[in-house]
Structure 1
């Protein structure tokens, strides 16, 4: 059902007629309709605006990794100390993503999405002015605050702007930044560091963000909840401690010499998570609504999607290392090859709705999931004597099939979610996305280090990379167990599948 301008009397009538639930329901009220929001096909414009904002956020994170050695030299610190610039951003994500849904309901989805872009721009401006590591860490935390709201609120804005039958097409646009950003980041970062100043990594966000604010104001409507729940402060603290420690733990465990500290932090995160689960069971409106997992399509999408995202998080970590350490390629050369994945995800965009309409979500997720996993297994078999064209074609196929898989997961997750619970669902889903991508880096690093321990080598061999790729491939392939549990007609209204 598409959201339309309506008054309180209309909402009350819908409650009486059973269209909207009464009792503790949360009705959505349009605060202000954007000038371009009335078009039936406007969802493509909305999806592209949100996708560009998310691309800015995803691109920034991966470009920064390439520039860390140069920044360390300018700040007068060891390159390993620059990990603080990454973890401070992750900390902000962990703390504030769960609160994003409540903020959107309280102050309006467009208002908060626009504020998220402005905060990200402010953090980028300060990052470009940084003269020390502590300054950079504070600026990155501010960037992370904006990024934490852009991720789930951007998806929420789209879900509230699109008809069900158009959701697959809209999600295929939205999924691209998560796949393209990490792939394009290394070559773009290498170009900026080589030919410009590293500060341009952050300054480039300013014109993109300014354009985003203008387009959001013009094309995106503003909706908030008429009946607002109180803020769950205790849950906010517990979830922040839990997710922050887990993210820090996963990130530190992926670096040699800090595995023990990472495991300790992850243990603290698990304990805090246990306390949060107990707390969430006792309060009516927890900041992360665990009762959403009772909804079959949402639960299966979270679980299967999480397993697949572990593999997706590991691939951008393992592949550049293999091409540079195992093949002897330069950073620029390996970055040029990995662009193939981005091209594959772009090719998928127009085909996803037709494939889902023909085969339905269940069959498509099962079959495509196995093919996508097999593609990453082939990546582990790359060798220096492989033709570059063969490597490029394999990565192109990997990008295509994995992009389709995430488009399907991100769409079917909201099939049975009521409109009044959409904000809670988007923040919950985005939290698990970030957690699993970070866990993917940890898993890939652990598998690689395990192979090195077995062989007694100080530098990973091609065989170690093969073993690591096979480990993460097995994880994504295990998602088939849960894909098979989707109902045969799951998401039929979204895809138009009637077979």
Structure 2
């Protein structure tokens, strides 16, 4: 691994990915302090999270076109600058409307920063190094949602909430300097006009779906708002698909879904990501609301998932080198289902060491599954199709992450009448529902041929087009 030339760039992009993911969730813990600072109710702060996530969702589809039109290094560097400046302005915000506006600006930077950074890595990585590259790019998405409650709790307990954003400034400056040195200089390769209709329809669809899923997570659900948002999102999504299929220069080329490994990873991986994303949302609520733990204790216990993520990381690449993708994927899905069931069986009387063990083991399967899905997704994608495939993958991943929190909130609400209580029983039902949804991943993974992606994981000859496609 020491001889791999792309490690530095992959680590740089992973660092920016971590910043973007962390800022999407860390505010939840600091909401009461932020609300007191602005003189508004605590629930009002959730609009800053929604604004950030919606901006990410709307902006990501255009990232591929921007990279092709202006060059990967120029767009990636500009995105880091926008994200960093916006972070500083968030810290200086004197009112809630100002903070919301700066979060939108921050979301615009993040929408370009992560997808374009990953595109730079994919374009400069040989197929034989793809497993290692994706392993580096995967950990931020695993770690940030888990660390956010603990970091947010520590910041609120010992410093001002403004430090949540201030810490991004030195990190952003360092990332910007490194990007200028590490990202290869490339010329604009796409002079086609932006597919404005596709961008508009896709943006409306993503905004509606993300907003609707955010409303589901509210303490008091406004079902009318949820129905309108999701209805608009779904209708615009259907029209967006129609436009993307007929446009000569689509914002995202849906024809990449004809590649079997890409299609299975996109659909099955989205379900996996959504269900996994719900866990860091449910666990702190279980520990605080049902067990009566403090926010700091709850956040620190959830960090056990992070320990599992990191602990298995040195072994994920050798596992795929040895067993390919299909076996580790099935094992990861099965292990995740088992860990979700185990989380549902946790009670206030469960020994702390056993809770930590369950969460640590769940982190192991999360890490292995994410790395396998994200790697095989690009195993059979030709270099000429990487840009469009990366844009579509980033868009679906962002949507899946938003759907995950909504899925957790909805499962919990279903659990209350089923269990007859809002206590531990409701959370038990919620985790069992998530485990049942994960069975869809088993079905998708079983559709893969046993040798899927072997040319990437084991450096074997590439599958024929008939094997890789429908």
- With structure 1 as the length reference, what TM-score do the two structures score? 0.89
Match of 1:91 in 2: 54
Match 1:369 to one of 323, 326, 333:
333
1:380-409 per-residue CA deviation (whole Å, 9 max, x = no partner) reads: 111122121111111111111111111011
Match 1:239 to one of 202, 215, 218:
202
Match of 2:168 in 1: 205
1:101 equivalent in alignment to 2:64: yes
Q: CA deviation at 1:112?
A: 1.1
Match 2:442 to one of 458, 480, 484:
480
Distance in 1 between residues matched to 2:364 and 2:6, nearest whole Å: 23
Match 1:191 to one of 128, 137, 154:
154
Distance in 2 between residues matched to 1:494 and 1:229, nearest whole Å: 32
1:358–1:497 CA contact under 8 A, matched in 2:
no
Q: CA deviation at 1:68?
A: 1.1
Residue range with higher mean Cα deviation, 312-321 or 55-64: 55-64
Match of 2:120 in 1: 157
Partner SS, residue 445 of structure 1: helix
Partner SS, residue 449 of structure 2: coil
1:496 equivalent in alignment to 2:451: no
1:253–1:261 CA contact under 8 A, matched in 2:
no
Determine which structure has the larger helix proportion and give its number: 2
1:281 equivalent in alignment to 2:249: no
Distance in 2 between residues matched to 1:133 and 1:96, nearest whole Å: 22
Match 1:326 to one of 290, 303, 307:
290
Larger Rg: 1
1:96–1:148 CA contact under 8 A, matched in 2:
yes
Partner SS, residue 324 of structure 2: helix
2:245–2:253 CA contact under 8 A, matched in 1:
no
Structure 1 spans left out of the alignment, 5+ residues: 1-38
Partner SS, residue 350 of structure 1: helix
1:194-225 per-residue CA deviation (whole Å, 9 max, x = no partner) reads: 11111111011000111111111122213345
Q: CA RMSD in A?
A: 1.6
1:395 equivalent in alignment to 2:363: no
1:46–1:220 CA contact under 8 A, matched in 2:
yes
1:124 equivalent in alignment to 2:87: yes
Match 2:384 to one of 403, 408, 420:
420
Match 1:337 to one of 268, 292, 301:
301
1:105–1:223 CA contact under 8 A, matched in 2:
no
2:28–2:46 CA contact under 8 A, matched in 1:
no
1:93-118 per-residue CA deviation (whole Å, 9 max, x = no partner) reads: 12110000111111111221111111
From the superposition, tell whether residues 358 and 298 of structure 1 become closer, same or farther in structure 2 (CA, over 3 Å): same
From the superposition, tell whether residues 225 and 490 of structure 1 become closer, same or farther in structure 2 (CA, over 3 Å): farther
Structure 2 spans left out of the alignment, 5+ residues: 462-470
1:28-57 per-residue CA deviation (whole Å, 9 max, x = no partner) reads: xxxxxxxxxxx9512221111111111111
Distance in 2 between residues matched to 1:388 and 1:485, nearest whole Å: 39
Distance in 2 between residues matched to 1:139 and 1:226, nearest whole Å: 32
Q: CA deviation at 1:263?
A: 2.2
